[in-house]
Amino acid sequence: MKRYLVLENGDVFEGEAFGAPGPCDVLSEIVFTTAMTGYLETLTDKSYKGQTVVQTFPLIGNYGVIPEDREGEVPSVSAYIVREACEEPSNFRCQLTLDEYLKSHGIPGLKGIDTRALTRVLRTRGVMNGLITDSYPSGTAAALAAIASYKITDPVSSVTVSSVEEHDPDENRLTVAMIDCGVKENIVRSLNKRGCKVYLFPASSSAADILEVKPDGIFISNGPGDPEDNKVTIATLQELDKTGIPTMGICLGHQLLALAHGFRTTKLKYGHRGANHPVKDLETGRVYISSQNHGYAVVAESIDAGIASELFVNVNDGTNEGIRYKNKPVFSVQFHPEACGGPKDTDFLFDEFINMMNEGRD
């Protein structure tokens, strides 16, 4: 069965349907990831809410679907685009094919298109909206205008927990209050295995709500959308900042901390998504390979040198990848140190957060 991608600039890519059957008419933002593996982690990453993901690696699904490796209970992507979807995966942990998994969750897929050509368009023109449809597109000006007008609206509220959740470690030594903006499950696991009891709070929680659990540390998770839209969470962080409690943020959490301190964010031309992004530690000079998924970044020039300093920068384009705040136990990173389905080079940052909390107890 034929299926089409229509970009807002009028480009049309014709391929074959897989995953959820038609009729299909999915409007979303079209983004690409350069990761070669970890496709289940990508599909279930809540930071992709409202987006269709294009895999630049040509063969996806070769080890099937392993539910234990997911980052969320269900897929968060709007649709999925690949060059070739493997129909006969080979892995002793495999439980489903990629096609079966997408069908089971009602996620439409598009395969058989030239994903390299599509990626070149997105790199040249920047991230665009697109329509995935089973009907041959007419390409009228009105239809293209409707595609261009699409906007991801308030995605954090649709992926955050609805009420406080507790995640207990085998041995409870520290308490972390996490503002859940769309957390990846391995972030919680990374803290649990280090002896942290994690309370997940809805993103709309007040500072008073969060402080009721008497946390040793505050954590702000990753999540989807424009960071500037999260005004309630930003205001909460400004209140929590007055407490002096050790704080760490990842991805969207990094951006929200920056906004709470008066810095600025901007939308990148096509974002950083993949498991092969080099970042440089400005304190040591060492370069790490990181896993990333973000379309916005903190504007480095907006960082007030009296308040904070850059901690990491992206080696490819020089954008900000981390901030350390002065005279307070607070830092954040743009990339993913938990990196399930990606490099583990920077998971020591969780240990740094643990050390900050232990020092705060002394």
Average pLDDT over residues 206-234: 98
Q: How far apart are CA 45 and CA 7, in angstroms?
A: 23
CATH number at residue 333: 3.40.50.880
Domain boundary among 148, 175, 205: 148
Report yes or no: 81 and 118 within 8 Å, Cβ to Cβ: yes
Q: Let me know whether 143 and 208 are in one domain.
A: no
Query: Which domain does 297 fall in, by range?
Result: 156-361
Domain boundary among 148, 168, 183: 148
CB-count burial class (<10 Å; 0-12, 13-18, 19+) for 301: exposed
pLDDT in tens, 152-164: 999 999 999 999 9
Average pLDDT over residues 332-338: 97
Q: Let me know whether 183 and 330 are in one domain.
A: yes
Q: Let me know whether 124 and 182 are in one domain.
A: no
Is pLDDT of 44 > 80? yes
Average pLDDT over residues 59-85: 97
- Is 254 among the catalytic positions? no
Peptide bond into 137 cis (omega under 30): no
Report yes or no: 292 and 335 within 8 Å, Cβ to Cβ: yes
Q: Let me know whether 134 and 243 are in one domain.
A: no
The set of residues, in sequence order, having a beta carbon less than 8 Å from that of 68 and lying 6+ positions away, is 93
Is pLDDT of 138 > 80? no
Mean pLDDT value across the chain: 96
Average pLDDT over residues 221-244: 98
pLDDT in tens, 118-130: 999 999 999 999 9
- Domains in the chain: how many in total? 2
The predicted pLDDT at position 342 comes to 84
- Is 336 among the catalytic positions? yes
Of the candidates 185, 272, 336, 340, the residue annotated as catalytic is 336
Structure tokens at 151: 């906007």
pLDDT band for position 241 (cuts 50, 70, 90):
very high
Give percent of the chain above pLDDT 70.
99
Give percent of the chain above pLDDT 90.
94
Q: Let me know whether 272 and 328 are in one domain.
A: yes
Of the candidates 251, 254, 277, 294, the residue annotated as catalytic is 251
The crossing angle, in degrees rounded to 10, of helices 252-260 and 231-241 is 70
The predicted pLDDT at position 362 comes to 66
Q: Let me know whether 144 and 163 are in one domain.
A: no
Q: Let me know whether 228 and 287 are in one domain.
A: yes
Q: Let me know whether 241 and 213 are in one domain.
A: yes
Report yes or no: 174 and 196 within 8 Å, Cβ to Cβ: yes
Q: How far apart are CA 224 and CA 60, in angstroms?
A: 24
Is pLDDT of 189 > 80? yes
Average pLDDT over residues 310-334: 98
Domain boundary among 106, 127, 148: 148
Q: Let me know whether 201 and 302 are in one domain.
A: yes
- Is 228 among the catalytic positions? no
pLDDT in tens, 165-183: 999 999 999 999 999 999 9
Q: How far apart are CA 297 and CA 2, in angstroms?
A: 37
Is pLDDT of 332 > 90? yes
Q: Let me know whether 353 and 217 are in one domain.
A: yes
pLDDT in tens, 249-273: 999 999 999 999 999 999 999 999 9
Is pLDDT of 139 > 90? no
Report yes or no: 335 and 279 within 8 Å, Cβ to Cβ: yes
Average pLDDT over residues 217-227: 98
pTM of the model: 0.96
The predicted pLDDT at position 142 comes to 86
Question: What is the DSSP secondary-structure string of 239-253?
Answer: HHHTTT--EEEETHH
Q: Let me know whether 131 and 176 are in one domain.
A: no
The predicted pLDDT at position 152 comes to 93
CATH number at residue 17: 3.50.30.20
Is pLDDT of 360 > 80? no
Q: Let me know whether 266 and 129 are in one domain.
A: no
Of the candidates 71, 185, 321, 338, the residue annotated as catalytic is 338
